[in-house]
Amino acid sequence: MSDVKRVMKDNIEEIISDLNEELFLDRIIRYWKKKGSHRTLNEHRTTYWDDDSGAEFGVDLGVSFGKIFELYLPEKLKELGCDVEPKFSSSGDMIAGDTHWELKTGQGGCIQGATHSPKEHKSMNLIQVLWTPHKNKSLDDILADRKFISELNISVFEDIKVDSQGTASNNNSRTSMRIGRHMFKESVSACIYGAVKRNRKYVGFTKVGV
């Protein structure tokens, strides 16, 4: 087991708590608070985004979370004793010695990639975070209990090859990155928060409450 996985597993509750605190500094939270902290996230979205752009709000939220996580995790791991640095390149987002790590987040059942990315077509060290925000709790209540994240699944894979689904088009190069069901045992070992199940073709990652 790598130092990264061991430290994350041993300190997962602290990591999640501090990640919540980082999210409270984001522009989306600040704007939500300014425009009406008595509203839930869903109410905030429907008040200022029409139905046609509701999906855009979800994308913005996902991008903000992903970038915060990429910047937060290396610093938190350093604080916990890991010799890591953020290193954004074609090889990954974080480096530990000579080992590159890819950090990926998603709000659905799988993480996203890009058809043009060569690292997605070979083995990688992958930290996968699937998450759900509290959508039906007011920001006032969220700030009181310091929990913006509702559910999480966190998995730390070492030397894993994913199935990248999707083809490039004129306006889209996004893919879905999934773990084949033959990697179920490895997925069970990788999961440090949440649960996994063996579906017909791919491993399913179950988010659990924070």
**Going residue by residue through the chain (210 aa), what tens digit of pLDDT does each one get?**
789 999 999 999 999 999 999 999 999 999 999 999 999 999 999 999 876 656 888 889 999 999 999 999 999 999 999 999 999 988 899 999 999 999 999 998 888 765 455 566 678 999 999 999 999 999 999 999 999 999 999 999 999 988 876 555 454 456 788 999 999 999 999 999 999 999 999 999 999 999
pLDDT value at position 172?
A: 46
3-state DSSP assignment of residue 88: strand
DSSP of 96-134, one letter per residue? ETTEEEEEEEESSSSEEEETT-GGGGS-EEEEEEEEEE-
DSSP of 47-82, one letter per residue? HHS-GGGHHHHHHHHHHHHHHHHHHHHHHHHHHTT-
Number of domains in the chain: 1
Kindly state the tokens that stand for 147: 């929990």
Residue 7 and residue 52: Cα distance in Å, rounded? 43
pLDDT value at position 112?
A: 78
pLDDT value at position 118?
A: 57
Among the listed residues 124, 67, 130, the one whose alpha carbon sits nearest the alpha carbon of residue 95:
124
Query: Dihedral sign, CA of 69, 72, 74, 80?
Result: negative
The rounded Cα 67 to chain-centroid distance in angstroms is 9
- Whichever domain contains 72, its CATH number is 3.40.600
pTM over 0.85: yes
Residue 19 and residue 11: Cα distance in Å, rounded? 12
pLDDT value at position 171?
A: 47
* Domain range for 156: 3-209
